């Protein structure tokens, strides 16, 4: 079981791309020369998913053995990249905890954010390490009863969360999160690349 990344984003009105408020990722299990592209693709997929997660909704995107989980609380969205063995309830319990901690630490200041933040948030880095063990996240379930009756929307592929007429390869071309080299690589074989990066995980 593995958590590769946790991100907090501000969802923007009128279809604008979400803003990254906090980002913690561990790409050490990828090859050295893949890590830069993996980080870029994590950001790209996070924006893509957060932008399409309505307020109050929880989603999981499934792709092969991976999942990308998303929770939007009134415009503040948290994203988690986990492998398919990480329990879904544990994943969303962790996302709840992250968003609670963010609001406790930063209040409503996120609403005025206008650009991606590069400032580290120690809590998120620590959470990425601590909650690699789902048993730690399970402890949170005892105080997060709301998950019991919350519907989680599962998508079988990342394409299923895109609006009608949207294509993933087209979004890749327009993205400023991906370097030219990453875009070429993705366009050469976007499905294989997504599997490699384990990012195109479905919503559960």
> pTM of the predicted model, to two decimals?
0.73
Q: Where are the domains of the chain?
A: 3-162, 167-203
Q: In degrees, to the nearest 5, what angle opens at C-alpha 152 toward C-alphas 140 and 96? A: 30
Best CA proximity match to 69, nearest among 28, 40, 98:
98
Q: Helix, strand, coil shares of the chain as percentages rounded to 5?
A: 45, 20, 35
CA distance 18 to 30: 26
Q: Which CATH number fits domain 3-162: 3.30.450.50, 3.40.50.970, 3.60.21.10, 3.40.30.10?
A: 3.30.450.50
From first to last of the 204 residues of the chain, give the pLDDT tens digit: 789 999 999 998 877 899 999 999 998 888 888 888 888 888 988 998 899 899 999 998 876 667 899 999 999 999 999 988 898 888 998 999 999 999 999 999 999 999 999 899 999 999 999 999 888 877 766 555 555 545 555 545 555 555 555 555 555 555 555 555 555 554 444 444 444 334 333 333
Strand order in the sheet with 152-155: 19-25, 3-10, 76-83, 66-73, 58-63, 152-155
């Amino acid at each position: 079981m593995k958590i590769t990344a946790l991100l907090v984003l501000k969802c923007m009105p009128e279809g604008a791309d979400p803003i990254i408020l906090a980002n913690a990722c561990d790409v050490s299990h990828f090859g050295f020369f893949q890590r830069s592209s993996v980080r870029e693709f994590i950001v790209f997929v996070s924006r893509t998913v957060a932008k399409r997660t309505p307020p109050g909704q929880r989603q999981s995107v499934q792709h092969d053995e991976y999942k990308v989980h998303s929770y939007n609380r009134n415009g503040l969205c948290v994203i988690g990249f986990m492998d398919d063995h990480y329990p879904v309830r544990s994943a969303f319990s962790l996302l709840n905890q992250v968003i609670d901690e963010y609001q406790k630490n930063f209040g409503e200041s996120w609403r005025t954010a206008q650009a991606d933040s590069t400032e580290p948030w120690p809590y998120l880095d620590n959470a990425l390490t601590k909650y690699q063990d789902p048993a730690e996240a399970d402890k949170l379930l005892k105080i997060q009863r709301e998950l019991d009756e919350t519907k989680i929307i599962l998508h079988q592929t990342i394409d299923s969360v895109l609006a009608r007429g949207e294509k993933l390869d087209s979004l890749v071309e327009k993205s400023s999160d991906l370097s030219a080299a990453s875009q070429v690589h993705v366009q050469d074989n976007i499905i294989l690349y997504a599997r490699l990066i384990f990012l195109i995980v479905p919503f559960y």
